[in-house]
């Protein structure tokens, strides 16, 4: 198998984090330079259908895009440690919090960065108001997670799950690109961030 990857972008980082948690070392990684348009070449588009990363190419030539779809595939192939749920009830709760992390935190942070960081103007037309609004929306959403983390060490279960990976990487993307940090009163989110940074996977999935 081969993973088409790029540094710093949040969605590929999700896959690398899951690979690190599961100790997956038998997948070839090919790094693409998005600023040079390597994800837009005819050869790449013929494989993937869309100019995006990450993409996992299986041994039979099947290509899976969308980071969560890739992570689910890896969960099936490498089931431990479990990140998506062991029982129907646990799986549903993890899915609920993963959706919240994706829609309420990850999407606003990604749009905030895309419309605020000067270097990304090369990729699309930016709107400063869109960037500011989305960063504010992500900050408001973190209040929901702060309340949750007041009662739980992790977002969706009694252990790290894919919901934690999605939420943390989106925050860390904004921190790295825009020097964003959570408000001081969100002490439970701050504790969780420290726990995530301390995991060995954090050093791999940069």
Question: 71 with 152, same domain?
Answer: no
What is the CATH number for 158? 1.20.1050.10
pLDDT: is 122 or 17 the higher one?
A: 17
Contact 120, 112 (CB under 8 A): no
Whether 83 is in a domain gets the answer no
What is the CATH number for 7? 3.40.30.10
- Residue-wise pLDDT for 41-84, tens only, equals 999 999 888 889 999 999 999 999 999 999 999 999 999 999 99
H or E element, residue 14? helix 10-22
Residue 206 clears pLDDT 80, i.e. is over it: no
Of 28, 56, 77, the residue that ends a domain is: 77
- Residue-wise pLDDT for 104-160, tens only, equals 999 999 999 889 888 777 777 889 999 999 999 999 999 999 999 999 999 999 999
Question: 98 with 188, same domain?
Answer: yes
198: helix, strand or coil: coil
Task: State the pTM of this model.
Answer: 0.93
pLDDT of residue 141: 97
Whether 82 is in a domain gets the answer no
Give the pLDDT band of residue 20 (cuts 50, 70, 90).
very high
For 20, the domain range is 2-77
Question: 117 with 177, same domain?
Answer: yes
Question: 99 with 187, same domain?
Answer: yes
3-state secondary structure 40-97: HCHHHHHHHCCCCCCEEECCCCCEEECHHHHHHHHHHHCCCCCCCCCCHHHHHHHHHH
Strand order from edge to edge, sheet including 28-31: 28-31, 2-5, 55-57, 63-65
Whether 107 is in a domain gets the answer yes
Question: 38 with 67, same domain?
Answer: yes
């Amino acid at each position: 198998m081969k993973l088409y990857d790029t540094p710093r972008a949040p969605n590929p980082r999700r896959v690398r984090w899951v690979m690190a948690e599961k100790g997956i070392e038998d997948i070839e990684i090919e790094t693409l330079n998005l600023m040079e348009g390597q994800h837009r070449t005819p050869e790449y588009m013929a494989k993937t259908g869309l100019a995006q990363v990450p993409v996992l190419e299986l041994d039979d030539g099947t290509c899976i895009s969308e980071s969560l779809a890739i992570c689910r595939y890896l969960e099936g192939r490498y089931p431990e440690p479990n990140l998506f749920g062991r029982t129907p009830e646990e799986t549903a709760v993890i899915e609920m919090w993963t959706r919240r992390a994706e829609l309420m935190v990850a999407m606003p942070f990604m749009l905030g960065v895309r419309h605020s960081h000067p270097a990304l103007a090369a990729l699309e037309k930016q709107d400063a108001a869109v960037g500011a609004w989305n960063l504010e929306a992500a900050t408001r959403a973190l209040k929901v997670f702060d309340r949750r983390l007041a009662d739980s060490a992790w977002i969706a279960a009694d252990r790290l799950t894919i919901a934690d990976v999605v939420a943390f990487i989106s925050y860390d993307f904004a921190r790295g690109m825009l020097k964003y940090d959570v408000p001081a009163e969100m002490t439970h989110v701050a504790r969780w961030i420290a726990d995530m940074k301390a995991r060995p996977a954090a050093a791999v999935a940069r």
